[in-house]
């Protein structure tokens, strides 16, 4: 067994909180000792990279990814970033020309660069939603998907004679969002080019993600010196809806999502129905109706220091961007919180898609069947209990069922609500949310 004294000292310093990813090699025994993800690789010589906390990897004690590189001179950095953009072009084109093009929906920084040019973050990774939604991450074809993308991208680079060389055999993968509603897997694909340090392209794929709006074909112009291509992609409206969902519901909201949300919201006012569907159909975190309360957590913590460590050229504080987002969302909030609408009606309007889904799932109309169909909302805590009360009342019809009677019927359903039945003090708190 490797002793503490045998560990590479630089990696030991990272474990103790060093802000940079070491250059020294890291063997598997040391990786396991320090509980580091496989996708955190040593920094190549000729650059430095900050160690950035990544909530997607929070199953690790040291949930780090390598941040944006820093170079000893500006020209090396310019050439390196151009090369990375070219590698991104090659990987995207390989996907577009391969067998998985109809199963991967692009979102994230590449689309932001396409829509916003130099105002967007420099794209350094590729984010995809896997479709159809019932594709399980642990299916055998998932491993084949990553291997095929790596091989096709490497072959395309060779065929085109690009200076960048993609190392398909060096691919590494790691699970992400392990404890979240939409699990995923990350691939790091190494590349090299003459005269500059090497790098990696990161691909993040999430599974079981709902698409509340259909994907649209997107024409992607080259980011670097590679080819352009055509891929399925999320629309700007859906991209904004997701950004808002992550900012509001994630345990670790990220500065990049706040920055991107500001760019998107200042260009296009979000549609109430699309945002609502992204929230309420995407899991239990988005059950509480939209409102200006969304902005409160953004003033407290969005990992802004991690974000600006990666993007030092971005000026302004998290508060500055939260203020900008609030101003851009004001027309949306006017629809979400119209004057004169009471709180219960706001909940009923927000939960309308879930009301209709429950109506379809329990066509008999019997209250006991409908209450039983709502048991899964117990995973949503007090918001979940309030949601179940609203849905049952809306299905019963106007004036048919009072809030207290609906609550009693919900809690009478077997399984699911035992914790709530054992704590009657929670009942009033759930109903207070609707008043």
DSSP states along 190-236: EEE-TTS--EEEEEEEE-S---SS--EEEEE--SSSS--EEEEE--H
pLDDT at site 365: 76
Peptide linkage before 132 cis (omega within 30 of 0)? yes
Q: Count Cα atoms within 13 angstroms, Cβ side, for 56.
A: 22
Q: In 3D, which of 331, 396, 348 has the Cα closest to residue 368? A: 396
Q: How far is CA 70 from the centre of its chain?
A: 26
Rounded Cα distance, 217 and 234, in Å: 9
How far apart (Å, rounded) are the C-alpha atoms in residues 211 and 197? 38
Q: Are 371 and 393 in contact (CB under 8 A)?
A: no
The angle subtended at Cα 333 by Cα 332 and Cα 334, nearest 5°, is: 90
Contact yes or no for 303/53 (Cβ under 8 A):
yes
Q: Please report the pLDDT score of residue 14 as a whole number.
A: 73
pLDDT of res. 19: 83
Residue among 153, 137, 270 at smallest CA distance from 212: 270
66-79 core/surface letters (b: 16 or more CB in 10 A; e: else): bbbbebeeeebbeb
DSSP reduced 3-state for 24: coil
User: What pLDDT does residue 1 have?
Assistant: 34
Give me the tens of pLDDT residue by residue for the chain, a chain 435 residues long.
333 333 457 787 776 666 889 999 999 998 999 899 999 999 999 999 989 888 899 999 989 999 999 999 999 999 999 999 999 999 999 999 999 999 999 999 999 999 999 999 999 899 999 999 999 998 888 889 999 999 999 999 999 988 899 999 999 999 998 767 789 999 999 999 999 999 999 999 999 999 999 999 999 999 999 999 999 999 999 999 999 999 999 877 889 999 999 999 999 889 999 999 999 998 899 999 999 999 988 877 677 887 887 788 899 999 999 999 999 999 999 999 999 999 999 999 999 999 999 998 887 778 888 998 999 999 999 999 999 999 999 999 888 999 999 999 999 988 789 889 889 999 999 999 999
106, containing H or E segment:
strand 104-107
Domain boundaries, the chain: 10-66, 72-234, 338-432
């Amino acid at each position: 067994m490797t002793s503490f004294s045998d560990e590479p000292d630089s990696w030991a310093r990272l474990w103790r909180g060093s802000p940079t990813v070491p250059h020294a090699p890291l063997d598997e025994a040391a990786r396991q000792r320090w509980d580091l993800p496989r996708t955190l690789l040593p920094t190549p010589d000729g650059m430095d990279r900050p160690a950035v906390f990544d909530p997607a990897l929070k199953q690790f004690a040291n949930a780090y990814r390598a941040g944006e590189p820093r170079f000893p001179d500006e020209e090396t950095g310019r050439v390196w970033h151009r090369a990375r953009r070219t590698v991104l072009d090659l990987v995207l084109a390989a996907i577009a020309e391969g067998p998985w093009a109809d199963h991967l929906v692009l979102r994230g920084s590449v689309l932001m660069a396409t829509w916003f040019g130099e105002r967007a973050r420099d794209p350094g990774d590729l984010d995809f939603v896997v479709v159809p939604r019932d594709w399980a991450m642990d299916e055998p074809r998932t491993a084949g998907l990553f291997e095929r993308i790596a091989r096709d991208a490497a072959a395309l680079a060779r065929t085109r004679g690009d200076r960048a060389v993609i190392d398909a055999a060096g691919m590494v993968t790691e699970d992400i969002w392990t404890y979240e509603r939409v699990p995923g897997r990350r691939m790091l694909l190494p590349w090299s080019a003459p005269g500059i340090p090497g790098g990696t392209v990161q691909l993040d794929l999430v599974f079981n993600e709902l698409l509340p709006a259909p994907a649209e074909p997107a024409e992607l112009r080259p980011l670097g010196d590679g080819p352009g291509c055509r891929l399925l992609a999320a629309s700007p409206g859906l991209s904004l809806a997701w950004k808002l969902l992550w900012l509001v519901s994630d345990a670790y909201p990220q500065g990049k999502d706040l920055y991107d949300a500001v760019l998107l919201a200042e260009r296009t006012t979000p549609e109430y129905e699309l945002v609502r569907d992204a929230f309420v159909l995407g899991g239990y975190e988005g059950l509480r109706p939209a409102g200006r309360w969304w902005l409160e957590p953004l003033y407290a913590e969005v990992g802004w220091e991690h974000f600006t460590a990666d993007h030092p050229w971005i000026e302004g504080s998290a508060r500055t961007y939260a203020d900008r987002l609030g101003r851009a969302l004001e027309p949306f909030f006017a629809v979400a919180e119209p004057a004169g609408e009471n709180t219960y009606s706001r909940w009923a309007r927000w939960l309308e898609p879930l009301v209709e889904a429950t109506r379809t799932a329990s066509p008999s109309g019997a209250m006991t069947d409908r209450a039983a169909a709502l048991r899964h909302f117990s995973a949503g805590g007090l918001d979940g209990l309030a949601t179940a009360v609203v849905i049952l009342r809306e299905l019963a019809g106007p004036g048919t069922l009072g809030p207290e009677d609906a609550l009693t019927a919900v809690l009478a359903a077997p399984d699911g609500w035992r914790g709530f039945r054992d704590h009657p003090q929670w009942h009033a708190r759930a109903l207070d949310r609707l008043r």
